[in-house]
Structure formats: C-alpha cells, structure tokens
Amino acid sequence: MRIVVVGGVAAGLSAASRARRIDPSAEIVVFEKGKRISYGACGLPYLLEGQVRSIEQLVVYKPEFFEKERNIRIRTESEVAAVHHGRREAVLASGERVRYDRLVWAAGARPARRAAQPRVFRLHTDEDALRLNEFLEAERPRTAAVAGGGYIGLEAATALRARGLRVRLYEASTALLHREDAWLTKRVTERLEQCGVELRLNEPVDPESLEAGVVIDATGLRPNVEVLEQAGAALGRTGALAVSEHMETSLHGVFAAGDCCEARHIVTGRPVWIPLGTTANRMGRVAGANAAGRRERFEGVAGTSIVRVAGLAVAVTGLSQQQARREGFSPVEAVVEGRERARYFFGKTIAVQLVADRRSRRLLGAAVIGDDGVLARINTAAAALAAGMDVETLAGLDLAYAPPYSAVADPLLVCAQQLLRLLDR
C-alpha cells in the first residue's frame, strides 16, 4: 500500500510517523512545497525577536532522519497542484504524477492576503521570517506597523518593539485575540502600552497603505483547500475541509489534518476552524493511523492556547461569555484576581475568568492572564472542559499547594467558588 502525505510540518509528519508505526510494510511518501520540514513555526516570532539565533534551531528533524530511521520518503520543494481521486493520482506542479492508495492532505493554511509592497511582510513560514529578518538587518527601519491583533500580530509587535522599533498595532475589532472579553483586552492593552506599543482598536486598515518603515500583515489565514475541493472533497461551514471523526474527507480514502480542516468543538459539538500547531499534531496522528488501516477517533478541540505578549502570558480555552451566548447557552461569568503563589515568595497577580452555563452548571470556558503560573491553570481548565465538568466538581478539585509554587487558595478554585455563588442567585 502506498500512502501519500501532502505537507511536511506538524500534521503531515505526525500522520506519516503514525502510519509507519502501524504498517511497517507501507510505502509512505511526504511532499512538502517548502525547503524545510519539521520546523517549529510557533518559534518564528522569537527568531524575529532574537531569542532564537537561526532558523536551523527551529528544525526538529531533517529529511534524512525520516528516510533512514522511519523509512519515510521525503520530497521537499514539491507542490501538489491537483488530485484525481478517481485514478488515485496526485499531480505535482512539475507535471509528475504520483499514484496513491490512501492520501493524507495536511497542506495547512496561508495568509488571507498577498503582499504587493516590498516593505509588507507575513510571519507564517520559515521563508517569511528569513525575508523579514534580512530586511530588518539591511534597511534598519525605525518604525513598524502591525495589522491584526491575533496571536501573530501581538507576538510580532512584541518582537519588533524588543528590537527597538517604534510600533503601532491596528486591530479591526474592539477585541484582541479574537476573544470578546473587555477585561482581557484591557489587560493586554495596558501591558502593550507599558512596553511602548501604540494600539489602535476598532480601526480596520489596508496593510499595503500603512506608513511605516516595515509592515506586518497579520490579518488572518485561509485554509489550503482548493486542490481537494476541485477533486470533489466537501467543505464545511467554516470554509475548511469537512472531515468525519476519523479525519476522513467526503472522498473515501482521503484524510485531512491540521490547519486545512475543521474539527468538532468539545463544548458545542459543532465544527470549528481553529488553526493551532498542537491541534495539527493530534489530528495528524489520527489521520495517519486511519490511513494505515485503523479506525481511531479524533475527540475534538477546545481551542486551548497561550501566547506571550511583552512578558505577559495570556491563555484561553473553550468559550467566552459572548461566544457561549451565540451558541445558545445561558452563560454566567466570574473574573477574580489573586496571587499565583505565596506573597512571601514574591507571588504575582494572576487573573482568572470562568464561564459556565446557568441551566446545566457545566463549565464552558476559561481565560487566565499573568506573568507566572498561567500554563498550569489553563491546562487544568482545559482538562475540566474535556471531562465535561460542572462548576461544583471544578471547585472541589484537590490541587497541590506549597508556598513556592502556589497560593493556599488557588485563584482557579476561588474563581470557581465565585462562579457557584453567581449561579445560585
């Protein structure tokens, strides 16, 4: 059996590796249109900032590893331009035709706009980051404009400010990180302003027209679905590829994983498109297993993520109050502030938000913001979402305590207790 995988980063290589473990005899070929495989795209802002010294530090494995250690053939700079599923055939941009028995489409996403101006850059791929770094070193701009207040926009603004540029960030909506929480946006705004980033909310812009020495267009992504759509694969309500719980598209024997396809949200049960590297890896494992003959299920996503903004950790999972209301819930929200560890161990303030449904008392979402102690608490909330916990169960969790690591009254549990009081009104 020949398994062809399109995409050589997170989802694609997870799929190829999982398929190899299940079927040692399969012929597995990975096509990647870029020059590199298996690199950490989430580290690109830190390359820009200077914490990562070279792009090679972000490369986890080179093609030789997969070919020698896992018997997986890797072909870089090889773009799949068409799929003829009736003939079980993928066609490369070069015109070469490749037969497959099973296909895994892990072609990711791309920026929603194309850059026309030489000083306008994206920060999506390794080549994007290299071009941007070369421009910054050669031209030495003093000012920067960033369009987009999502993860990439905020990380890029932080990185450029760390390099000494005067930075102005534009966001079309009134909220940052696509999270309609005024308290969250307020805290992130305060931190950005403290580090010298000028923020313009509710101001849609055309990145090409911005006046600055360098411009970062972080206005959004679009899933790479056109080739499979032309082959007959169905798209979902989000515009990404529709897949079953087994990560199979509407084309039998064609699977999809990563930023090109939808996933089921574990809170709402509805399809969503949330492009994240962690999700891509998990999807890839299931898609690869099933391409190799298994029947595994992908359990879904909660959109759990964390981002560093000028040293401030901002983490979310599940639904905000506004998102929950749009999904038909009757949401109740609590926000508390506390110390992430004992005061005499220099504990810093941390803010926790929890959202629950008034009718079922089920936890729907959470957000945590602070300088320290954020990761453990958002992961606990994400686990509670996956377990379908109600707020009473969350408030009663037996969490660890020691003064160097936590507060005796953990802010997550304090917030859950506050939410219980609101639910009981």
pLDDT on residue 274: 97
pLDDT on residue 425: 87
Residues 197 and 125: their CA atoms lie apart, in Å, by 24
pLDDT on residue 116: 77
Judging by DSSP bridges, how do beta strands 73-75 and 27-31 pair with one another?
A: parallel
Q: Read off the pLDDT of residues 268-319 as tens digits, 9 standing for 90 and up.
A: 999 999 999 999 999 999 999 999 999 999 999 999 999 999 999 999 999 9
Q: Read off the pLDDT of residues 357-391 as tens digits, 9 standing for 90 and up.
A: 999 999 999 999 999 999 999 999 999 999 999 99
The token pair at 19 is: 């398929």
What single DSSP character describes residue 293?
Answer: T
Edge-first strand order for the sheet with 80-84 is 80-84, 89-92, 97-99
Is residue 257 classed as helix, strand or coil in its secondary structure? coil
The model carries a pTM of 0.95
The token pair at 354 is: 């929890």
Which residues of the chain have a pLDDT value below 70? none
Is residue 38 classed as helix, strand or coil in its secondary structure? coil
Give just the sign of the alpha carbon dihedral 205, 210, 213, 215: positive
Encode 154-186: b = buried (16+ Cβ within 10 Å), e = exposed: bbbbbbbbbeebbbbbbbbeebbbbbbbeebbe
pLDDT on residue 337: 96
pLDDT on residue 30: 98
Domains, the chain, with CATH or none: 2-44+54-110+221-291 (3.50.50.60), 120-217 (3.50.50.60), 311-423 (3.30.390.30)
DSSP calls for 170-192: E-SSS-STT---HHHHHHHHHHH
8 A C-beta contact, residue 403 and residue 347: no
Beta bridge partners of 111: 221
What are the residues whose beta carbons fall under 8 Å from the beta carbon of 398, sequence distance 6 or more? Answer: none
Residues 176 and 182: their CA atoms lie apart, in Å, by 9
Beta bridge partners of 143: 166
Return the closest-CA partner of residue 302 out of 355, 236, 224: 355
pLDDT on residue 55: 94
The token pair at 183 is: 């308290």
Helices (H) and strands (E) in the chain, counts: 12, 22
Catalytic residues: 42
pLDDT on residue 4: 98
pLDDT on residue 113: 86
Map tokens 């560890």 to a residue: 341
pLDDT on residue 291: 98
Give rounded-to-5 percent helix, strand, coil for the chain. 35, 25, 40
The token pair at 112 is: 């929603």
**Element containing residue 226 per DSSP (H, E):** helix 226-231
Residues 240 and 328: their CA atoms lie apart, in Å, by 23
Burial of residue 233 (CB within 10 Å: 0-12, 13-18, 19+) is buried
What is the Cα 264 distance to its own chain's centre? Answer: 15
CA distances from 85 to 90, 224, 228, 230 (A): 8, 17, 9, 10
